[in-house]
Structure 1
Amino acid sequence: MDYQQEEYHEELQKVQDRDFTHSWVSSSAFLFYLSIFCLVVFFLGSCFRLYRERFEPLKNVTVQESTQYTPKYK
């Protein structure tokens, strides 16, 4: 009976060593790299959206004559 309990505790310890929630070191490294990955994806996605919907000047815009570079007054 002691042998079975000893074997059970060894297996439990092995599982806990590999488990994400029981190992602070592996979980903090995983969360760090996950946050860096998310920031890079967000940055690249934002750049792509700005590139895709870039500013295109309008062709037919009416401008008041008094606000042009060489204003025309009445």
Structure 2
Amino acid sequence: MDYQQEEYREELEKVQDRDFTHSWVSSSAFIFYLSVFCILAFFFGSCYKLYNIRYENSKPQNVVVQESTLYTPKYSAPK
């Protein structure tokens, strides 16, 4: 009986050493690399989206500009 309990305890320790939730070192490394990957994926995804939007909206728009704010302003004559 004692032999079986010792064998069970050794097997349990082996499993816990390989288990993600029982090993602080492997879980912290996994979380670190996962967070780095997520940050890089977010960064490159944002850059890609901004790159595409820039070229979709690169056509000049018909914007109404007040004449007094032009490079050579035009002022209306007082009445």
Task: State the TM-score bracket (shorter-chain normalisation).
Answer: 0.7 to 0.9
Classify the secondary structure of the residue corresponding to 1:62.
Answer: coil
Classify the secondary structure of the residue corresponding to 2:6.
Answer: helix
Which amino acid in structure 1 is aligned with residue 64 of structure 2? Answer: T
CA RMSD of aligned residues (A): 1.4
Classify the secondary structure of the residue corresponding to 2:38.
Answer: helix
Report the Cα distance in structure 1 between the residues aligned to 2:33 and 2:59, rounded to whole angstroms. Answer: 41
Which amino acid in structure 1 is aligned with residue 45 of structure 2? Answer: G
Report the Cα distance in structure 2 between the residues aligned to 1:42 and 1:9, rounded to whole angstroms. Answer: 44
> Counterpart of 1:69?
71
Cα deviation code 1:21-56 (max 9, x no counterpart): 111111111111111111101111111111111252
Classify the secondary structure of the residue corresponding to 1:53.
Answer: helix
Q: How many residue pairs were aligned?
A: 74
Give the TM-score normalised by structure 2. 0.82
* Per-residue deviation, 1:71: 1.0
Which amino acid in structure 2 is aligned with residue 61 of structure 1? Answer: V
Gapped regions of structure 1 (runs ≥ 5): none
Give the TM-score normalised by structure 1. 0.87
* Per-residue deviation, 1:57: 4.9
Distance 1:50 1:38, change over 3 A: same
> Counterpart of 2:33?
33
> Counterpart of 1:14?
14
